[in-house]
Every structure is written in C-alpha cells, then in structure tokens.
Structure 1
C-alpha cells in the first residue's frame, strides 16, 4: 500500500483515492464500499479516520450511507460527472502550475502535451484523433 503524505490529512488522501477509483470506474455507481473496519484494516489506519473519510465523501455527495447496509457510491450520474470534471481540472491545474514554474509558455505546454499524447497513441487505432 502507498505511504501517506504528511502534508495533507490522511482522511483527505483516502477520499482522493476513493474518488480516483470512482472516476476510473474501478468503483461503480451503486457499488458497496468495504465496511469502516475492513477499510481501516486495508489501509492500516484507525477506523475513525475511515469514518471521517466516508463522512466527507457523503457530504460531497459521492457516497450514500444506507442505514444498516453500509456506504455506497452514489448512483446520481450528474454528481459523478461533476466529480470527474473536478478531478480533471485539479490535475490540469497542478500540471500547468508546475510547467509554468519551470518557465514553459502556454504554447510550449500545449505542443509538448500534444507530442506526448501522439507518441503514446501511436499505433492505437481506438484513441481519438488529436487536433
């Protein structure tokens, strides 16, 4: 299991991991998550940390808790679309900020990204064209 970064609370790091699993569809809409106890054992953290993670994700509308049944990924498609967009924007923002700090212009960032994607996609007919 990955180590946790000391600059951000563990419960938020776990929330980010769960969000990534949802966006990548490893966790699907309506799917039940592990119990608080099971998740705590999986990540080797205190159950209270997992409870806080689940509460945060529920507050954000990503998880739904069903009394006596557990926590489930929301089935609200619009909320999942919003989550996907938010996570994409956060990743792009971080990438652009780092590139700017290194002195790259917008044109250099765009052309570098285009070149990288073209190299990655070479020979993969299923990938959309890059204009």
Structure 2
C-alpha cells in the first residue's frame, strides 16, 4: 500500500503524495481513518516524527483532521475530482520539464504522450 523511495525527495512529502494518490484512486475516501503515526512509521521503517510531519501537512492542506483521542481522518469535504486534477497537472508538469531537459519540442512531447496513451 505504501511505497517510499529514499532518493525521491523528503519522506514526509512522499507520504503526503501517497495519501493524495489513494484519495484520487478511491483507496481512501472522505471520512476514512488514517493509520496511527506509530503504526505507519513502523510499517514504513521511518521515524514517527516523519509521519507526524506528513499528517500535519495533510491537515494544513485541508485534507485531514485530527480528532483528539480518535486519530487522524480524511476530511469529509475533500473534493476528490479537484485533487485528481491537481495530481494530473503536477505529473504533466514533471513530464514536460523532463521533455524540455531532453531538448524535445512541445510537439515531440505531445507525440510521445499520444504514443503512450495509444498503447
């Protein structure tokens, strides 16, 4: 369920992105309880403070809320469609940045994307 890449940026940010992806693909739904920071830290083999940092970021972004004595939950009013669109735009920006770094034109990048989509 959770996958981390020690070379892909801060671990807390990867946890945040993982939660966003699970919301976007329906594995998590508004109102669902997230694992405890301790349990998730044990599962991921990271410091619990890293998970707490990620959960704080999710709360700051309005995606989760902490209920004293109960845990951390996905907020009921999360707009999943908006989140999906946001994740897709982020991925498109990374794709275009990589295409530019390779010296490809916009048209070449679009053609490559079309080829992959048609597979």
TM-score w.r.t. length of structure 2:
0.86
The equivalent of 1:89 in structure 2 is 89
Can you list the C-alpha shifts for 1:17-59, whole angstroms capped at 9, x where unaligned? 1211111111112111111111111111111111111111001
Structure 1 residue 2: Cα displacement: 4.1
User: 2:112 maps to which residue?
Assistant: 112
Q: Which runs of 5+ in 1 are unaligned?
A: 120-131
Structure 2 Cα separation of the partners of residues 101 and 51 of structure 1: 35
Provide the C-alpha distance between the structure 2 equivalents of 1:59 and 1:19, rounded to a whole number of angstroms: 13
Q: What are the ranges of 5 or more consecutive residues in structure 2 without an aligned counterpart?
A: none
Instruction: Work out the CA distance in 2 between the residues paired with 1:15 and 1:77.
Output: 14
Whose relative contact order is higher, 1 or 2, with alpha carbons under 8 Å and at least 6 apart? 2
For residues 8 and 118 of structure 2, the distance between their equivalents in structure 1, rounded to whole angstroms, comes to: 35
| Structure number with larger C-alpha Rg | 1
CA distance in 1, matches of 2:37, 2:76: 20
